[in-house]
Amino acid sequence: MDTTPAPRIAIVGAGPGGLICARILQRRGIAATVYERDPGPAARDQGGTLDLHAGNGQIALREAGLLEEFFELARPEGQEMRQMDPAGTILFHHVPEQGERVKPEIDRGRLRDLLLKSLQPGTVRWGHALRAVGGPVEGPRQLHFTDGTTIEADLVVGADGAWSTVRRAVSGATPRYTGVSFLEAWFHDVETRHPGIAELVGQGSAAAADGDRGLFAQRNGGDRIRVYIIQRVPADWITAGGLTPVDTDGLRAHLLERYRDWSPRLRRLIADNDGPYVDRPIFALPVPHAWEHNPTMTLLGDAAHLMPPLGVGVNLAMLDACELALAIARHDTVGEAVRAYEETMLPRSTEMARLLDGAADGLLSTELPDFAGAGDH
């Protein structure tokens, strides 16, 4: 009879990667606790929509026993894609076939709710902002939270995103600005309040670019549309221009001048938004990003391989989480599991990161880049 105590697994971050890792572990009888800085599941808006791909995100959902529930919640019509020039002329239009499930859309909030409901009660410990990770490499590890509490773990999984605290314990790498910035705008009750924009965007996404400027609009659930105004600008372009992120009127005037040569229909995606803009400069980790094997700590998703938002982020995070959970279930020790997981994950993420290195500029290209994944991050 095996008397080895079960490993204490601490997952930091309650995004899709962290939650699906916990779910797959629990399905195999392995306990895990997720620590999340948000005070609760409704603490903030989870953002826009995601397209989960058959070759990675959906694989993780199948392993989690949630694929059919996902299809019930997803919007396959969201796979529609329109690409236009700045005059508003449609250059390419993809309409998904009936029953197409290659990469259906789902709102981030709905996906998170699906994953949270699948977990055992008490799995997620809300209001736990991680300050630092201590303890010897061989374990046990100590997680020190900003509220002064500390817990011990035999394995720490950093699923805590672009500015990961866990990553600092295994790697000195920090995200770098790509030179491309998004300004996010929202439109609500679009069929009633913004019918012209609803028609322009359709049921999925619409995009246009001229080499230096771009627009990416995406239908979300709840009769909403999210727009990214994409520019090649310094990271501090707002303050450098004497503006602030909350100066909606000032930003709108600045943008309308910058896009003055574009079609009036497309300029409405800049000018008619409901509420303030949200500044989202795009960062990425250096390529390649790897670290010395650590038997008690590893990373997944953006914490491991932050890339430009080109449709791979959440899908790779979920595949990472799936493979890590399965490795833990199949190996005798967490150290062996981490090594096996990283032997697959690191080469895959390095290959993808090299493909996407500098690709944020592609979001502004006039050569019809694949904008369809831009809402992934």
Split at pLDDT 50, 70, 90, the class of 356 is: confident
Q: Indicate whether 375 pLDDT > 50.
A: no
pLDDT of residue 79: 86
pLDDT of residue 45: 67
Q: What pLDDT, in 10s, does the model give residues 38-73? A: 998 877 766 778 889 999 999 999 999 999 999 999
pLDDT of residue 360: 75
pLDDT of residue 368: 54
Split at pLDDT 50, 70, 90, the class of 200 is: very high
The two domains 9-80+104-174+285-361 and 178-282+368-373 share their CATH topology (first three levels equal):
no
| 75 annotated ligand-binding residue | no
Tell me the CA end-to-end span of the chain in Å, nearest whole number: 46
* Residue type (1 letter), 204: G
Q: Indicate whether 151 pLDDT > 90.
A: yes
What is the residue-averaged pLDDT of the chain?
91
| 85 annotated ligand-binding residue | no
Q: What pLDDT, in 10s, does the model give residues 166-177? A: 999 999 999 999
CA dihedral 120, 123, 126, 128 (to 10 degrees): 180
Judged by average pLDDT, the poorest of 28-37, 38-47, 78-87 is 38-47
pLDDT of residue 3: 52
pLDDT of residue 8: 96
| 51 annotated ligand-binding residue | yes
Q: In the chain, what percentage of residues exceed pLDDT 90?
A: 79
> Which runs of consecutive H residues, i.e. helices, occur in 219-312?
237-240, 248-258, 264-271, 302-305
| 113 annotated ligand-binding residue | no
Fold of the CATH domain 9-80+104-174+285-361: FAD/NAD(P)-binding domain (3.50.50)
> How far is it, in rounded angstroms, from Cα 338 to Cα 292?
12
Query: What are the structural domain ranges in the chain?
Result: 9-80+104-174+285-361, 178-282+368-373
Fold of the CATH domain 178-282+368-373: D-Amino Acid Oxidase; Chain A, domain 2 (3.30.9)
